[in-house]
Amino acid sequence: MKRKLIAVTACATGVAHTYMAEKALIKAAKELGVLIKVETQGATGIGNRLTSKDVSIGEAVIFATDTKVRDAERFDGKKILQIGVSEPIKNGKGVIEKALKVADE
Amino acid sequence: MNISQVIKPNLVLYDLVANTKKEVINKLADLYQKTGVIQEKEAYIISVMKREEEGTTGIGDGIAIPHGQSETVKESAVVIAKLKEPVEWHSLDDLPVKYVFLLAIPDEGDQEHLKILSQLAGLLMDDDVRIQLEKSKSKVDLINIFKKGVDQL
Amino acid sequence: MSLKKIGKILEQNIMTGISYMIPIVIAGAVLMAISRVGASFYGISTIWDNKWADSANFMIRFLHTDDGWGSVALGLMFPVISAYIAYSIADKGGIAPGIIGGTLVANMNAGFLGALVSGLIAGYSVKLMIKYIHLPKAAESVLPVFIVPVLGTFITLFLVQYVIGVPFADLNSGLSAWLKSMTGTNRILLAAIVGGMVGFDLGGPVNKAAVTTAMALVTSGVYDPNTAAQVAIIIPPLGLGLATVINKKKFNLELQEAGNAALVMGLIGVSEGAIPFAVESPLKVVPANVVGSAVGSALAVGLGAVNHAPISGFYGWFAVEKWWFYILSIIIGTLIVTGLTLLFRKNVIIKPDDQVEEKDETNGKYFSEDEWEN
């Protein structure tokens, strides 16, 4: 069975980095054979909103955010990796690997 | 609405000559002012520089996506510039920047437009797009990358 | 912030509220329409009267009960719109003060406008509280669970009760009395104006203003504007769709496609079906729509058709009083739009569509939902 992660991306302006981080996470996860669902919290609203089912499936949640995560209470009790929104753009694979480690702790 | 409606040929520059990051932003903001995208250049530049202070917008592989959100922006827009010589940008990968995508974002934006700018930002993470940027030889090449790119989305 | 921006934000908030309210109005109004149409077969025009609760006929008793269900649903209209305007402004925290304020509005009979204002008060008072009240970290959670709901509700109720309630209630009863007292030419003129507004921007602000006002008046027992609006909603898409069928040469391939869609959308009561045409050549399309809608609406009201429900699609036609006149008016309005459109337009040279672009819906998804869940 493949490893599964979920993530939320958000930046201050909500137009550029949110979506670049999303693509970077998906790209890195794909290359590492990990499944990931990414919710974008941008200026135009929440994209690909994670359902409570998604939340329960994800082994850990990556918050790649420079702003407050909206509706963060959905993730109460999950293992969380909090990083800046640029981090996945810089080193996507590193972030995925770190998140898997968090999930194993 | 699609990405080709957002990328306006008069907002695409090939072989822009500039020596510093500040000069690049200044020249591109001039273009915005001339085309009526922004009203007060100074206010817009301040918003762009403020964003740079919060963290670099150089996302690696010679690409930077600076952006400013300000009341002085009348409509959301993007200007694309390929620089003649790369400039220092303190990028995530420490490489100098050759391709600049400067976004102008109004305080309360037209959602449709912003979504497309977001898609554009997402496209820049695509390896193919980065390779094609590197290969581009003219303004038309630059525009075509994103015409093609968005069809894949 | 400029006035225009403020207007835009207000419009957005109010539209959010309206979009949450509409399903409730539809549910309630249809239940009521069923009961009233059903009762008319028994020659009863006052099915809401309590005396029918003890009728010997089960059907009549049921129709009376069903009318009551409709009232229950419509009674929620003001609380819901107030709550969701507040929600649109201040997120979750706005809902409690909004819904409570809206209920007080309903009790005070302060009408649709009262409910809008109550929602705005609730939303902005909560928003300001969240922004300006800062508590020490340890006590932070007191704000959303205690201070916001209690203080927000208090402020909203206070302002509704002592400031806006009475004037809006007067305005509301005055307006409905005035509309009800309209007769003859004035009624027809009103219908034409409502129809023209609805046909003007096809789901835009002018259209929405007319349609929602008309819907709100239904709850006060004023049906003319609603009848006019519901007729006018479907005339533009039907008229333009019909025009593309009658004379293909005047439309390019995309508009021909859009014409088929417009016919279907018209039948189910979605005026947005006409938008592709209005975008392509507004100066020809908008006047045709306005004239066709205005005439259709004026005819329907003038001939005495009454639509009790905020439904414009064909499935609502037979619940309309004097539905034969209602449908006739729609047909006439449609033909006017079709005729004017064909008159205004020139033939176009159709060039074959060079390529059909296909959109990949998977958008970056590299695994299936099954793989995710197992």
Q: What is the CATH number of the domain that holds A91?
A: 3.40.50.2300
More confident call, B49 vs C6:
B49
Of A23, A35, A57, Cβ closest to residue C364: A23
A98 inside 8 A of chain B by CB: no
pLDDT value of position B100: 94
A22 inside 8 A of chain B by CB: yes
- SS3 for A24? helix
pLDDT digits (tens, 9 = 90+) for C177-203: 777 777 678 888 889 999 998 888 776
Residue B52 domain boundaries: 7-144
What whole-number distance in Å separates Cα of residue C118 and Cα of residue C101?
6
The closest alpha carbon to B143, from B12, B1, B18, B19, belongs to B12
Complex ipTM tops 0.85: no
CB contact under 8 Å between C360 and B153, yes or no, is: yes
More confident call, C364 vs C205:
C205
pLDDT digits (tens, 9 = 90+) for C223-272: 889 899 999 999 999 999 999 998 888 887 778 888 888 888 888 777 77
Tell me the mean pLDDT in the region C120-144: 84
Q: Residue C307: pLDDT band by 50, 70, 90 thresholds? A: confident
pLDDT value of position C162: 92
Residue C69, phi then psi, degrees to nearest 5: -60, -45
- Mark whether B67 is an active-site residue: yes
pLDDT value of position B148: 60
Q: Kindly state the tokens that stand for C226.
A: 């609603």
- SS3 for A8? strand
Which class for B19: exposed (0-12), middle (13-18), buried (19 or more C-beta within 10 A)? exposed
Tell me the mean pLDDT in the region C33-48: 75
pTM here is 0.48
- Residue C21: HSE in the Cβ half-sphere, 13 Å Cα cutoff: 33
A23 inside 8 A of chain B by CB: yes
Interface B-C, measured as beta-carbon pairs within 8 A, has a size of 10
- Which of B42-51, C33-42, C125-134, C156-165 comes out lowest in average pLDDT? C33-42
CATH number, domain of B30, equals 3.40.930.10
pLDDT digits (tens, 9 = 90+) for C341-353: 988 887 765 443 3
Q: For C345, which DSSP code?
A: P
pLDDT value of position B127: 83
The closest alpha carbon to B44, from B18, B12, B76, B17, belongs to B76
Percentage, residues of chain B above pLDDT 90? 29
> What sign results for the dihedral spanned by CA atoms C64, C67, C73, C79?
negative
CB contact under 8 Å between C366 and A57, yes or no, is: no
Q: Kindly state the tokens that stand for A57.
A: 């499936």
Domain total of chain B: 1
Smallest CA–CA distance, residue A86 to chain B, in Å, is 8
Best of B118, B123, B130, B153 to disrupt the A interface by mutation (most A CBs within 10 Å)? B118
Among B21, B29, B67, B129, the active-site one is B67
Smallest CA–CA distance, residue C185 to chain B, in Å, is 43
CB contact under 8 Å between A26 and C373, yes or no, is: no
For residue A46, what are the β-bridge partners?
A: A41
B123 contacts on A by Cβ (under 8 Å): 23
Q: Kindly state the tokens that stand for C203.
A: 């789901």
User: Would you say B125 and A24 are in contact if contact means Cβ atoms under 8 Å apart?
Assistant: yes
CB contact under 8 Å between A43 and B65, yes or no, is: no
Smallest CA–CA distance, residue B115 to chain C, in Å, is 14
Cα B147 to Cα A45, B138, B153: the distances in Å are: 25, 15, 11
Q: Residue B1: pLDDT band by 50, 70, 90 thresholds? A: low
The closest alpha carbon to C271, from C241, C246, C295, C301, belongs to C241
User: Would you say B13 and B100 are in contact if contact means Cβ atoms under 8 Å apart?
Assistant: no
Q: How many CB atoms lie within 10 A of CB B39?
A: 14
Residue A69 domain boundaries: 4-104
Domain total of chain A: 1
User: Would you say C325 and C303 are in contact if contact means Cβ atoms under 8 Å apart?
Assistant: yes
Query: Do the bridges between strand B58-60 and strand B63-64 make them parallel or antiparallel, or are there none, so unpaired?
Result: antiparallel
Query: Do the bridges between strand A45-47 and strand A35-42 make them parallel or antiparallel, or are there none, so unpaired?
Result: antiparallel
Among A6, A8, A11, A83, the active-site one is A11
Beta-carbon contacts of residue C257 (< 8 Å; ≥ 6 apart): none
Q: CA of A30: which chain C residue's CA is closest?
A: C366
- Residues of chain A below pLDDT 50: none
pLDDT value of position C171: 80
Q: Residue C123: pLDDT band by 50, 70, 90 thresholds? A: very high
pLDDT value of position C352: 39
Q: Residue C91: pLDDT band by 50, 70, 90 thresholds? A: confident
Would you kindly state where each structural domain of chain C is located, as residue ranges?
3-180, 182-344
Of A23, A35, A53, Cβ closest to residue C367: A35
Residue B153 lies in a domain: no
pLDDT value of position B26: 92
pLDDT digits (tens, 9 = 90+) for C144-173: 788 889 999 999 999 999 998 888 888 877
Residue type, C70: G
Q: Residue B109: pLDDT band by 50, 70, 90 thresholds? A: low
- Residue B123: HSE in the Cβ half-sphere, 13 Å Cα cutoff: 21
Residue B111 lies in a domain: yes
Percentage, residues of chain C above pLDDT 70? 93
What whole-number distance in Å separates Cα of residue C106 and Cα of residue C214?
18
